[in-house]
Structure 1
Amino acid sequence: MNWKNCIWGGALSVLLFSCGTRQEINYMKDIENLALDNSVKNSRSTLQPGDQLLITVSAKDMDVVKPFNQTYSSATTITQYSTPSSNNLPQQVPVSGPTYNVDTDGDIVFPQIGKVNTKNENIETFRLKLTDLIREYVKDPVVDVKLINFRVSVLGEVTRPGTYLVPDGNATLLSALGLAGDLTSYGVRTNVLVVRNVDGQFTKERIDLTSAQFINSPYYYLKQNDIIYVQPNANREKAARVDPNTGLYISVASVIASLAIGILALTKN
């Protein structure tokens, strides 16, 4: 009888040990109760030193705008990352045209115009600013500005941690997590850390993905070189401290226990 109690007790202990606590895995449970109007103001990231801009100028008479398109002309290739729902490998997207690097003072040097400052400008406001400057030389110019080196890093408990390039320069916290294949079952969804460097100043914010309130956070729309870290839950940390051979030890112990029970049964007979 004592042996039976030990066996049942051991089985119950294994069952309880193997079952982790139930994790809250739903995102934005209260989204239907939240007004999202305030998030619009944060939807566009301001340009930062180190940004690489592809700028093209066009007009009805393309010969007139040639002087604005001939400097820093280059042909490069960037990587467009596929979404986790796709089985396709990342695609190589060619990008060609005049490119400009934003220097440490926030300036680019544009042909015919000279230095143009990007500080406190996002892609759209800078495009309008540049259009106004070119309009002094060209009638009805059409200016296109793209940020081609927008990167974010996603680390911790995600399926594919790494640094991701977002060619359109428009990324949200959720889209970045999507690029990384979403959180694993061990990721803490109520405490996702976003670290940001703006003009040399580091700031951070902890985000609760289970509440729609984070959409109104200035950290919902990501900025250049943001770092997202997903913390592991207690089960993952506990597993990390366990000897990797623990499973083998348990298997061997189970075999030995079975043999012992069998031998005892034979000796009683």
Structure 2
Amino acid sequence: MNFKKYMMGGALGIMIFSCAPRQEINYMKDIENISLDNSIKNSRSTLQPGDQLVITVTAKDMDVVKPFNQNYSSTMTVAQYTAPAGNSQFQPVPASGPTYIIDTNGSIDFPQIGNIDTKGENIETLKNKLVVLISDYVKNPIVDVKLINFKVSVLGEVARPGTYVIPDGNATLLQTLGLAGDLTTFGLRHNILIVRNVDGKFTQERIDITSAQFINSPFYYVKQNDIIYVQPNSVREKSARVDPNTGLYISVASVIASLVIGVLALTKN
């Protein structure tokens, strides 16, 4: 009888350690009821000191725009990022052209024009600003601006924690979580923490991705250097405080108990 009790206790222990409480795992259940007006306004990040921009200027006569493409090299400038080893899905993002780093005052030194203030600008508005400035020298210039070091960090209960570069600098929270392989079954979907640094000021917000209400939040689109932390549920937290081999010990004890009971049963026969 004692062996039967051990076996039942082992089975109960396995169930406790392997089962998580039921929680909401559907994303944005009420999406059909949400207006997307504010979401569109938040889709572009303002540029920040330390951002690396590749800016190229072209025109019908390329000789005319050469002075605006100083130090141009055909060598690729590669934006690096941290990603899990052996994951070929995530590759460095190549970009070619002159690279400008926004200084601590929020400015870049552009050839022929000089100091250009980027504070409050995003990729599109800076592009338009450069077109206007260069038009004083070149007829119908075409300006291309790329942000090559836009990165966010995803930590906690996701499949692939790490720091990821967003090639076009435009991604939603859900797309970023997708890069990290989505939340594990232990991740709290209604309490995702986002830590943001804008112009040296840190802000934080907790997001519930089971509700579409967050679409119109300023945190729906990720920003440069965002830190996204997915909090574990109570089951994961409790299991982290006990011996990680406890589940294995219980499983082994259960198997041994079953074998002993089987042997005793054969002996009696």
Task: Tell me what 1:160 maps to.
Answer: 160
The one-letter amino acid of 2:241's match is R
Shift, 1:154, TM fit: 0.5
Work out the CA distance in 1 between the residues paired with 2:97 and 2:267.
87
The one-letter amino acid of 1:101's match is I
1:229-263 Cα offsets, whole Å, 9 max, x none, are: 00011111111112122134324433554466568
What is the correspondence of 1:48-63 to structure 2 with a 5 Å cutoff? 48-63=48-63
Structure 1 pair 253–11 and aligned structure 2 pair: CA distance change class (3 A): closer
Instruction: Tell me if structure 2 keeps the 8 A contact 1:69–1:98.
Output: yes
TM-score (normalised: structure 2)? 0.88
Task: Tell me what 2:197 maps to.
Answer: 197
TM-score (normalised: structure 1)? 0.88
Work out the CA distance in 1 between the residues paired with 2:90 and 2:38.
34
Task: Tell me what 1:171 maps to.
Answer: 171
Work out the CA distance in 1 between the residues paired with 2:3 and 2:254.
15
Work out the CA distance in 1 between the residues paired with 2:197 and 2:186.
28
What is the correspondence of 1:57-136 to structure 2 with a 5 Å cutoff? 57-71=57-71, 73=73, 75-78=76-79, 88-136=88-136
Instruction: Tell me if structure 2 keeps the 8 A contact 1:81–1:179.
Output: no
| Higher RCO structure (Cα 8 Å, ≥6 apart) | 2
Instruction: Tell me if structure 1 keeps the 8 A contact 2:197–2:226.
Output: yes
1:91-145 Cα offsets, whole Å, 9 max, x none, are: 3443211110000000000000000000000110111111111111111111111
The one-letter amino acid of 1:105's match is N
Aligned length: 264
Task: Tell me what 1:22 maps to.
Answer: 22
Work out the CA distance in 2 between the residues paired with 1:64 and 1:41.
36
Work out the CA distance in 2 between the residues paired with 1:171 and 1:137.
35
Structure 2 residue runs without a partner (length 5+): none
* Aligned Cα root-mean-square deviation (Å): 2.7
Shift, 1:75, TM fit: 3.2
Worse overlay, 185-194 or 234-243: 234-243
Structure 1 residue runs without a partner (length 5+): none
